[in-house]
Amino acid sequence: MFFLNHTAATPEENLALDEALLDQAEELFAAREAGEPDPTPWLTEHDGEVLRLWEAPTPFVVLGSSSKFQHEANVTACRDDGVPILRRASGGAAIITGPGCLMYGVVLSYHARPELRDLDAAHRFMMLTLSTALSIDGLTISVHGICDLVHSVSGHDGRKFSGNALRCKRGHLLYHGTLLYDYALPNIARYLGTPARMPEYRAGRAHESFVTNLPLPREKMVHALRQAFNAQTELPELPLTRMEQLVKEKYSLASWTERF
């Protein structure tokens, strides 16, 4: 699998780059289906699979593809504090990211992993991979709900440190999410609303008693993830043209962000 450690210049570009990596892999799939030459021959080495890591230097809210703009984001607080609200192309509830929240994205190939066409199998694969990789230094990590990672300490309820979502296309899927390790947790209650749907294990807990930072240094998380996905080859080229196109046509538009 290729590895990309890259934070783009703007929140919009960061969301667009995840989708651009998926689209780049899909171009490879489409060319093969049509019996045409590969548009990016170097990408065939790993069937378009990429692990990307990034971390935003300032906070911003990311709505799920079907999130309610006025419900899942505290729009007034965000606007008062200059915190951007954007919308991603994958499902799930709204998140807030920023310094201390490592963001990851993985593009996976159905050609290499045909079993992942089943959504339940895709969730199981990713949750097992992530939870196993991060269960180091004596940490106890478990999977709750469909795709939440939870850190448990003896005598305390488990608290979520990672929320995840996916987007599927014909030949590949994008699985991406958050990994809180040193985040300013009060931001969550200030800038996010109450999710429309809550997993049973949350038991009605407010943000401040439900979410936590995983006590693991960033560099250890990065190393663990690269090992888990065998992401040793640096991605030689970024799909910047596609990223810029997506920013212009989608991620910079209020009509996209505020559509629900």
pLDDT-above-70 percentage for the chain: 99
Q: How large is the average pLDDT for residues 235-245? A: 97
What is the predicted pLDDT for the residue at 119?
97
C-beta atoms surrounding 196 within 10 Å: 12
Residue 111 binned pLDDT confidence (cut-offs 50, 70, 90): very high
Which class is domain 2-257?
alpha beta
Q: How large is the average pLDDT for residues 16-42? A: 93
Given a contact cutoff of 8 angstroms between Cβ atoms, the answer to whether 124 and 215 are in contact is: no
Tell me the average pLDDT of the chain: 95
| Environment class of 62 (CB within 10 Å of its CB; exposed 0-12, middle 13-18, buried 19+) | buried
The conformation of residue 87, written as its DSSP 8-state character, comes to E
Residue 51 phi, psi (nearest 5):
-105, 120
Least confident of 37-41, 68-72, 196-200, 228-232: 196-200
User: What digits encode the pLDDT tens for the residues 119-135?
Assistant: 999 999 999 999 999 99
> How far is residue 63 from each of residues 33, 67, 155, 221, measured CA to CA in Å?
33, 6, 33, 25
H runs (alpha helix) in the chain: 11-34, 69-72, 75-81, 119-134, 186-191, 218-228, 240-246, 254-257
Task: Please determine, for residue 99, whether its predicted confidence score (pLDDT) is greater than 80.
Answer: yes
The conformation of residue 247, written as its DSSP 8-state character, comes to I
Q: Report how far residue 130's alpha carbon sits from residue 229's, in angstroms, rounded to the nearest whole number.
A: 9
User: What digits encode the pLDDT tens for the residues 147-182?
Assistant: 999 998 765 678 999 999 999 999 999 999 999 999
Order the strands of the 2-5 sheet from edge to edge.
141-144, 148-151, 159-168, 172-180, 101-109, 50-54, 2-5, 233-234
Helix count and strand count (H, E) for the chain = 8, 11
What is the predicted pLDDT for the residue at 118?
98
Task: Please determine, for residue 109, whether its predicted confidence score (pLDDT) is greater than 80.
Answer: yes
What is the predicted pLDDT for the residue at 61?
98
Residue 53 phi, psi (nearest 5):
-120, 140
Q: Report how far residue 182's alpha carbon sits from residue 61's, in angstroms, rounded to the nearest whole number.
A: 17
Instruction: Tell me the pTM.
Output: 0.95
Domain segments of the chain: what residues? 2-257
Residue 8 binned pLDDT confidence (cut-offs 50, 70, 90): very high
What is the predicted pLDDT for the residue at 198?
85
Given a contact cutoff of 8 angstroms between Cβ atoms, the answer to whether 88 and 251 are in contact is: no
